[in-house]
Amino acid sequence: MSLLTRLSENPVLKPDSQIPWMASAAFNGCVVKDGRTFHLVYRAVSAPGEFDGVYMERSTIGYAESADGVHFHGHRQLIAPQEEWERYGCEDPRVTEIDGSFYIFYTALGTYPFSAEGIKVAVAVTKDFKTIEERRLVTPFNAKAMVLFPEKIHGKYAVLFTMHTDMPPARICVALAGRIEDLWSHSFWRRWSDSLNEHILYLQRSEKDHVEVGAPPVLTRNGWLIIYSYIQNYFSPPPVFGIEAVLVHRRNPLRILGRSHTPLMTPEFEYEKYGKVPNIVFPTGALVHRGQLRVYYGAADTTCCVATAPVVSIAQIVRGTKKPEADLHRFSGNPIIVPEPLHAWEAKAAFNPAAIYLGGKVHIVYRASSEDNTSVFGYASSKDGFSVDERLSDPIYAPRADFEAKKVPNGNSGCEDPRITKIGNTLYMCYTAFNGVEPPRVALTSISVDDFLAHRWNWTDPQLISPPGVDDKDAALFPKKIGGKFVILHRLGVSIWIDFVDRLTFGESKWLKGKILMNPRTGIADSSKIGIAGPPIATRRGWLLLYHGVARKDHDYRVKAVLLDLKDPTRVLARTQAPILAPEMSYEIEGQVNNVVFPCGSVVIRGRLFVYYGTADSRIGVATMRLRSLLDRLEREKVK
């Protein structure tokens, strides 16, 4: 999910073909509030033409104002190339008010073709956004994205900027100046550079990534909140542009108090995916209005947009003192099921549980593993959804067919990762059948509800339902027919597939397939592969489906959610961007497979969603949340 909610008015600023200087693009805006007026400065890109002997689209800085910070009017060109060091363009302004003046820092392009030595920071000073009183070249070296803190720190003016943006590795740096004029003094920067390593704010997680300052800092009760651009895989394309945040100490902006570990937002909406440069969200402005943090960002280098969130929540999330709204909350007694060394069949691991609510209690059917790596299914139940009241000493389901019999001594084999669906008076169980030699396949069996509740394990003979020679798993049935057909979800390759079948009989030329329902998404922590958690749950707003996503970068398993149309489940209505559960606890981080949370079943009890999940392929935990909170969250993230 995006922790920031996009405004329905987006984009709030667009190019205008009738205005030559902003005919191609109008983006990367920054807003400052003065009394009742919101002042917007932004990068405008002209229609192609000849400028200073070069045929090009040239960037200048536009201005507009607003009474609400969303609907802007009075567009006019505020800053255009005037000096030699900006002759080929003025880009990406950031504005701050201090000492009764507005300081607009921007990127000045002094050479063409563009090169690092000609890309520097400049500043323009105004008191009324009508007259530019002063204009200066700030940095003598390659730099971009300078922002001025709106308050002095220890009696000094403080700026944050990206140094050597075009001469990587780039570094986000802090500079403190006793006089504002020092910021455009070459001697000041020469002295500052002598101790460069003392001024770096370290935010880059990988040498493949790129960071750049975003918006001017926002003061919160917890410290300075800084919204910045974090670009994953910048040096190993395709890059993934994201908006992140860091909280720094009020009196020491180099002291990090907390930071986001996943993007607050990545390109998802059409106006962010398509434009002059596709798949970009780039923050350049932020302010707090009536308790809401507003982030102004450029979308696809074409338009300017706004996204919001309660500033207190973002600050707390960044600092790690509050979980995002509508995340799953772990039971304090986790793990609720652990391996039982007295039972050989579950001595090594007990994990990846299916769950179904029948007869006033939760029935948990879980994957258990012996020391020789044979998987079977065990049974436990809980009246309150948390504490296990009953756990059987023998497995309720074990390998019975050749396609799940062990072919390699001590190799993985058996029945894995069950999902249970009730249709009428029958429980259908899909699971992964594996013999250690052939690719894993989806198997299907069933049992009557009466036999299941009476612990009479009269399962029907299992049948393979996915095609031979293909790695297929993570399957479950919908709990009702749709259009007179059974509906089955499964994971073929790296994507979630959906299939509609007349009968649950397979074999020969009839195998599970269908079409792709959802693909992995680049840069959103499910970029490697995705698979369903448990069967979908019917709600008034749509089918709620939890799924796991695996990131290409770190291979962690995280839980996310999607909402499907009730009548046509091939229609994805909404899909969370950030996870609702990610490996954090020691029992989720360390085990047979580290950093895994893997649900196979969920139930709803009195309006609360209970999610049962495997932890690090070793134990079982449960996490809960209000169902309505998750549905509200999905409502905010509806696919446009």
DSSP track, 321-381: SSPPTT--EE-TT--SB---TTSGGGSSEEEEEEEEEETTEEEEEEEEE-TT-EEEEEEEE
Which amino acid does the sequence have at 336? I
Phi and psi for 186 in degrees, rounded to 5?
-65, -35
Beta bridge partners of 64: 40
Strand partners, 277: none
**Which residues, at least 6 apart from 286, have a Cβ–Cβ distance to it below 8 Å?**
214, 215, 216, 218, 225, 227, 293, 294, 295, 296
Contacts of 493 (CB under 8 A, 6+ apart): 471, 529
Residue 452 backbone dihedrals phi, psi, to 5 degrees: -65, -45
In this predicted structure, what is the pLDDT of residue 347? 97
Report the pLDDT value the prediction gives residue 221, as an integer from 0 to 100: 87
> Is the link from the previous residue into 395 a cis peptide, with omega within 30 of 0?
no
Reduce the DSSP state of residue 22 to 3 states and report it: helix
The two structure tokens encoding residue 50: 């000849």
116 neighbors 109 (Cβ within 8 angstroms): no
pLDDT reported for residue 217: 98
Q: Strand, coil or helix: what is 243?
A: strand
Question: Which residue positions in the chain have pLDDT lower than 50?
Answer: 1, 640
Cβ pair 32, 96 in contact under 8 A: yes
Can you say whether the dihedral through the CA atoms of 402, 403, 407, 412 is positive or negative? negative
pTM to 2 decimal places: 0.59
- Whole-angstrom CA distances from 72 to 63, 96, 516 are 9, 19, 42
Residue matched to tokens 């947009």: 305
| Cβ atoms within 10 Å of 608's Cβ, excluding its own | 14
Among the listed residues 478, 597, 511, the one whose alpha carbon sits nearest the alpha carbon of residue 549: 597
Predicted pLDDT at 262: 79
State how far the Cα of 634 lies from the Cα of 400, in Å rounded to an integer.
41
Model confidence pLDDT, tens digit, residues 18-38: 999 999 999 999 999 999 999
Sign of the torsion formed by the C-alpha atoms of 259, 261, 265 and 266: positive
508: region left, alpha or beta (phi > 0 left; psi from -120 to 50 alpha): left
Burial class (CB in 10 A: 0-12, 13-18, 19+), 461: exposed
Task: Report pLDDT for 509.
Answer: 82
Q: What is the pLDDT of residue 159?
A: 98
For 236, how many CA atoms within 13 A lie in the half-sphere containing its CB?
9
Rounded CA separation 106/103 (Å): 10
**pLDDT of the residue at 638:** 73
Give the per-residue pLDDT at 1. Answer: 47
